[in-house]
Chain A
Amino acid sequence: MKILTEHINTPGIETFDVYRKKGGYTAVEKVIKKMTPEEVVEEVKKSGVRGRGGAGFPMGMKWSFLAKPEGVPRYLVCNADESEPGTFKDHYLMKNIPHLLIEGMIISSYALGANKSFIYVRGELMYVIHILEKAIEEAKAAGFLGKNILGSGYDLELVVQPGGGAYICGEETALLESLEGKRGNPRNKPPFPAVKGLYQCPTVVNNVESIATTSWIINNGGEAYAAIGIGKSTGTKLISASGHINKPGVYEINLGVSCDEFLNSDEYCGGVRKGHYLKAVVAGGSSVPIVPGHLFLKTANGEDRLMSYESLSDGGFATGTMLGSGGFIVFDETACIVRNTWNFARFYEHESCGQCSPCREGTGWMQKVLNRIEHGKGSMHDIDLLVDISKKIEGNTICPLGDAAAWPVASAIRHFRDEFEWHIKEPIAATKPGAVYMKESVLV
């Protein structure tokens, strides 16, 4: 089922006229003319759509937590600071079909009673910001934005704000700090943004994809959306597939599609590249635990794993992983897990904000130890040291970046310990260019 990407290949869909002809902005008309904000929130609650930014928190519930004190403005902020290695779905959506996001923003802002809403876009995507700004101008000219939308008396101003290019500003409170013009440090919680967010006012922060789904939910009803998918994972999800597969790209899947089908069918990834074997999968962006191929396709109990929030996390961190933000990275047997883990650790060291000590010092320490192992200078106790550091960071930090930095390292050691040991025992062989540890039992 295609909800977000239905018209994505239509020529000129980025312009208002084509988008409108394809049924765009009908949801805004419906919402503004026929529905109260409470009804919109109720509809989204019924749909069961979960936050697509990675945490998977039900969006309707998040909206209903928003504090509504008298005389205080409320804000909606769209988190388009997508910078997780492996995730590029929001970029794809905003670039190709910007009006879908604008429409979703209008609906969501109306539901939350926000008169000024922000789209915080990653600074590197300057050309996307221009696309969005052009789309906003068009919507404004058509009367869907600005003062007195469609004669209803509801005003909405939409602001696109470029970020400064920091991964940490994708964390919602750091994003709000950055939006206020401060250093992008995550805030201490509580208070949560729903109570004190942007400029100390109640704020909802949602991912691009979550907001973009609202127009379909309004047009077709929350129940129709909830009918797609499986269990509590309702609807569709954009997955950005990359790595050693035949057809990398962004795919919209019904949640609940089997992992085997997603990886191997020609409709989606088209299988691991020819002549190679599946070694490992990062299912939801660099911060989720890496799993070996066999544990990705089947759970520890031998059941087929499905692309859904529940099924992917089946087995906890021991044998499972997470759906995260949908950054699907596939590794075949030519990929070195140690090198890859080091690469991720380097990323997190570079992107840690440096506010709280476990993350600031721990990410750097892990990176240095992994660097040593990768370059053949490690020792056996370094592996246990890495596990210990990752445990000390996990859960002890202000924001989830600490967890995100710790999980890939811990999981790589959990599943590919022999590869780390090989790097230590055979430093000369391991540091040759292109040298990879082969253990055929892992490959699928």
Chain B
Amino acid sequence: MENTAPQLFKVTIDGVEVEVPPGTTILQAARKIGPEVAPPAMCYYEPLKGSGGKCRACLVKVSAGSAKDPRPMPKLVASCITPIQDGMVVENYTNPQVVDARKSVVEFLLINHPLDCPICDQAGECHLQDFSYEHGVGTTRYEEDRRTFEKEDIGPYIQLHMTRCVLCYRCVYTADQITNKRVHGVMGRGDHAEISTYIGQAIDNDFSGNVIDVCPVGALTDKTYRFKNRVWFSKPVDAHCDCEKCSGKVQLWYRGDEVIRVTARKNEWGEVKEFICNTCRFERKQTSDWTIEGPTKVSRASVISANKYSKNLVKKPDFALKLAESQYKNIDDDRPYLHEMSEIQQSEDYKALMAKDEKYFGHK
């Protein structure tokens, strides 16, 4: 019988083996293994064709090109656009060169990105925030002036705050691929490049709102939502409606009983699953407009999950303390609990503690 199953390629990423079909990129293979190995991505966006390769956040070291040709690749490669080969060995978090390169990418991206997270609507669901928290350093060596722009209204619903833009080109691809006509794009070159509409034109089409969802930072924001709320105070709920323009599958963001924002549903990598239309996004803000499916699953690591659980599911530390206490009693140890030279031993507090419970600190 003929084997109809597609041939799978074996790749090793950070020592974990995974089998994927040919044509998969390194990043996709790593995502298949799990978030522990997946490289970060600031510009790559799976639903958008042609995206990726720009931010260099996902650089990895290919230490063996393939089983046939096990030579390492000379440079770090962008994992989001490099297809895998059979027998490829990829070093990601395990390679110091990669870790160093990512650190520098964070530094480069933050050169012209303001640290205005406390007033930014994107805070809490910002890819750059996560990226710099996980891969960056706490300080910058940049002393010069940063580029700034005036805020720009592009259309009735969207505001562009170019100062925050990291030029990932996602919104350009979105407008290219899901709307009829793109009226905005990148103007200028180098560090003076900017996203803008041509001669102050407004972005006016039924799917323009999706550029807000794809923006990894707070450069493109929803004018109906701006400054109304912090994302961790709101509760996401999956809902749907019969929409003739789009799938109608959305996330409603509640604060109390009020729908304060409607967005498309995103997968665990922060990518939109199905794009939604502007009517759903900006105009249907009543619960009665929607059929509620239930609360959205939010990763516990996300700040959005804060204050969302009525029961405390995490085992409190006192459990551990009790355990330690019971264990400690079993140990018959005459050694001093603290070093004799320690200053704590000389303090009044320590002496009081000693007097209180000699049993635990069994020495004189």
Contact = CB atoms under 8 A, between A and B. Distances in A.
Interface of A: 166, 168, 183, 188, 190, 349-358, 360-365, 368-369, 372, 385, 392, 395-398
B53 A361 contact: no
Contact of B190 (A364, A368, A397): A364
Interface string B36-60: 0000001000000000111111010
B120 interface: no
Contact of A396 (B56, B83, B144, B188): B56
B186 A385 contact: no
A200 to B, nearest CB: 12
A360 to B, nearest CB: 5
B2 to A, nearest CB: 27
5 contacts: A188-B81, A351-B190, A357-B55, A360-B193, A396-B101
B202 interface: no
B186 A363 contact: no
Nearest to B50: A188
Interface in B22-79: 42, 52-57, 59, 75-76, 78
B142 interface: yes
B189 A365 contact: no
Nearest to B75: A395
B191 A352 contact: yes
B185 interface: yes
B166 A357 contact: yes
B190 A354 contact: yes
B98 to A, nearest CB: 10
Given A183-B185, A392-B104, A356 B111 contact: no
Contacts of A353: 189-190, 193
Given A361-B108, A365-B111, A365-B144, A392 B55 contact: no
A395 B42 CA distance: 19
Counting chain B CB atoms within 10 Å of each CB, which of A190, A352, A357, A360 scores highest? A357
> Which bucket holds chain B's interface residue count?
35 or more
Contacts of B193: 353-354, 360
B132 interface: no
Q: 4 closest pairs, A vs B, by CB? A: A354-B193, A364-B191, A392-B104, A352-B190
B39 to A, nearest CB: 14
A351 B169 CA distance: 19
Given A183-B185, A358-B108, A392-B108, A398 B54 contact: yes
Contacts of A372: 144
Contacts of A363: 190-191
Contacts of B192: 354
Given A352-B190, A354-B190, A365-B111, 5 more contacts: A166-B189, A183-B185, A354-B191, A354-B192, A356-B55
Contacts of B104: 358, 392, 396
A375 to B, nearest CB: 12
B340 to A, nearest CB: 44
Contacts of B142: 365
B303 to A, nearest CB: 25
Contacts of A362: 108
Contacts of B186: 183, 354
B183 to A, nearest CB: 15
Contacts of B78: 188, 398
B60 to A, nearest CB: 12
Nearest to B109: A357
A397 B108 CA distance: 12
B167 interface: yes
Nearest to A395: B75
A396 B142 CA distance: 20
A351 B191 CA distance: 10
Contact of B167 (A183, A190, A354, A358): A354
Interface in B80-128: 81, 83, 101, 104-105, 107-109, 111-112
B141 interface: yes
A424 to B, nearest CB: 14
Contacts of A190: 83
B339 to A, nearest CB: 40
Contacts of B190: 349-354, 360, 363-364
B189 A361 contact: no
Contacts of B169: 355
A318 to B, nearest CB: 18
Contacts of A365: 108, 111, 142, 144
A183 B166 CA distance: 18
Contact of A350 (B42, B76, B189): B189
Contacts of A385: 141
A165 to B, nearest CB: 11
A358 B78 CA distance: 13
B56 A357 contact: yes
B349 to A, nearest CB: 44
A404 to B, nearest CB: 13
A384 to B, nearest CB: 10
B111 A354 contact: no
Contact of A351 (B53, B55, B76, B189): B189
Nearest to B78: A188
Contacts of A369: 144
Nearest to B80: A188
Contacts of A356: 53-56
Contact of B56 (A166, A354, A358): A358
Among B53, B101, B166, B191, residue most surrounded by chain A Cβ atoms (within 10 Å): B191
Nearest to B167: A354
Contacts of B141: 385
Contacts of A168: 189
A363 B111 CA distance: 12
A395 B78 CA distance: 11
A358 B111 contact: no
A21 to B, nearest CB: 46
A168 B192 CA distance: 15
Contacts of A355: 54, 167, 169
A312 B52 CA distance: 37
B167 A397 contact: no
Contact of B188 (A349, A354, A361, A364): A354
Interface in B230-269: none
Contacts of B167: 354-355, 357, 360
A219 to B, nearest CB: 39
A349 B59 contact: no
Nearest to A369: B144
Contacts of B185: 183
A289 B105 CA distance: 24
A398 B76 CA distance: 11
A166 B81 CA distance: 26
A357 B54 contact: yes
Nearest to B59: A396
B294 to A, nearest CB: 39
A372 B144 CA distance: 9
Nearest to B81: A188
Nearest to A384: B141
Contacts of B112: 361
